[in-house]
Amino acid sequence: MKRREFLKIAGVGGAASAVTAPAVATTWRAPMTSFETTLTLIGGPTVLIQIGGFRLLTDPTFDAPGSYQRAAVTRVKTTGPAVTPEKLGPIDAVLLSHDHHIDNLDLSGRAFLPHAGRVFTTPVGAERLGQTVQGLAPWDSARLDADGRSLHVTATPARHGPPGIEDAMGEVAGFLLGLEAPGDAIYVTGDTVWYEGVAEVAKRFQPRLVILFAGAAKPRGPSFCATMDNNDAIETANAFPHSRIVGIHNEGWTHITESQADLAQGFAMLGLVSRLQLLEPGQPVRLTL
């Protein structure tokens, strides 16, 4: 496949990591025509994605800065949202990587869920949240339809840390968005490290944009990362060689150990910085991909 060029237009538990599903037969199809998407970083793991006439939100977090005590663990949020729920506008769907960690679904984010058209998350998360939340296991798909437009939503495997951490960290998911076919547009990794599940996504799909949950989160001390560090992000970029890369969830919490600037430095050192799209909180960035 030819390398695609990208144009930036001004504006700135159980383990869900199973990847042993039967291989999907590949069928040749003509490359998708270019499309536009607008990304607005709200803060942390929360991004507004506008694509194909739909408005989607990743992991809603709208609380003001503060601390949260969960059993013996304290989480500290250091920055508030760049956009409040009241100013966000209508949301067609929430892509919720998981519901059980406060830095991915805080109190205000949880209160926001009923106001979204649909909510997609893990099967166990859907059971906990109830209401009309839809659980998607890895490789399961759903579709959004409105006014003759459609958007495919496909769940992907994710693992929230090293092998063996699944029971402690719980079930997590990523998501693919597709305009003409499942997964042809955007891949949102969710809270995961680089591992065989992410590699399997790269084997099956060729999204134009990959939104990484980076930041090298260390919620349980210095022993291991629960989200992608720079090495993982670079590994992922190489697995998706024709994709634009965005890194989020790399600010706003004290357990985040690598910043967006750190990510940019790593990409620059390896000649990848031209593929990295930086986001500033509250500043929409429109991309043609």
8 Å CB contact between 254 and 268: no
Percent residues over pLDDT 70 in the chain: 89
Name the one residue in this structure whose structure tokens are 């495997």. 157
Which among 95, 212, 211, 236 has a CA at the least distance from the CA of 153? Answer: 95
| pLDDT bracket for residue 114 (50, 70, 90) | very high
- Residue of 16 and 228 predicted with greater confidence: 228
Amino acid identity at 61: T
Say which CATH architecture domain 38-276 belongs to.
Answer: 4-Layer Sandwich (3.60)
Is residue 177 predicted with pLDDT exceeding 80?
Answer: yes
Q: For the chain, what are the domain ranges?
A: 38-276
Which range, of 19-23, 122-126, 208-212, 280-284, averages the lowest pLDDT?
A: 19-23
Residue 49: the pLDDT is 98
8 Å CB contact between 204 and 239: no
For residues 18 and 236, give the distance between their C-alpha atoms in angstroms, rounded to a whole number.
18
Using CA atoms, how far residue 78 sits from 16, 207, 250, 256, in Å, is: 29, 32, 12, 11
User: Which parts of the chain fold into alpha helices (H)?
Assistant: 85-88, 107-112, 123-129, 166-169, 196-204, 230-239, 260-269
What does the mean pLDDT of the chain come to? 87
From the DSSP assignment, how many helices (H) and strands (E) are in the chain?
A: 7, 17
pTM over 0.85: yes
| Average pLDDT estimate for 246-263 | 92
For residues 92 and 262, give the distance between their C-alpha atoms in angstroms, rounded to a whole number.
33
User: Which token pair is 133?
Assistant: 């939340």
Residue 14: the pLDDT is 38
Residue 20: the pLDDT is 40
- Residue of 10 and 265 predicted with greater confidence: 265
Give 82-96 pLDDT, tens digit per residue: 999 999 999 999 999
Residue 31: the pLDDT is 64
Give 34-80 pLDDT, tens digit per residue: 999 999 999 999 999 999 999 999 999 999 999 998 777 788 999 99
Which range, of 29-33, 116-120, 240-244, averages the lowest pLDDT?
A: 29-33
Which range, of 8-17, 24-33, 123-132, 224-233, averages the lowest pLDDT?
A: 8-17
Mind giving me the DSSP string for 78-137?
Answer: ----SS-HHHH---SEEE-S-SSSTTTS-HHHHHHGGGSSEEEE-HHHHHHH-TT-EE--
Residue 163: the pLDDT is 83
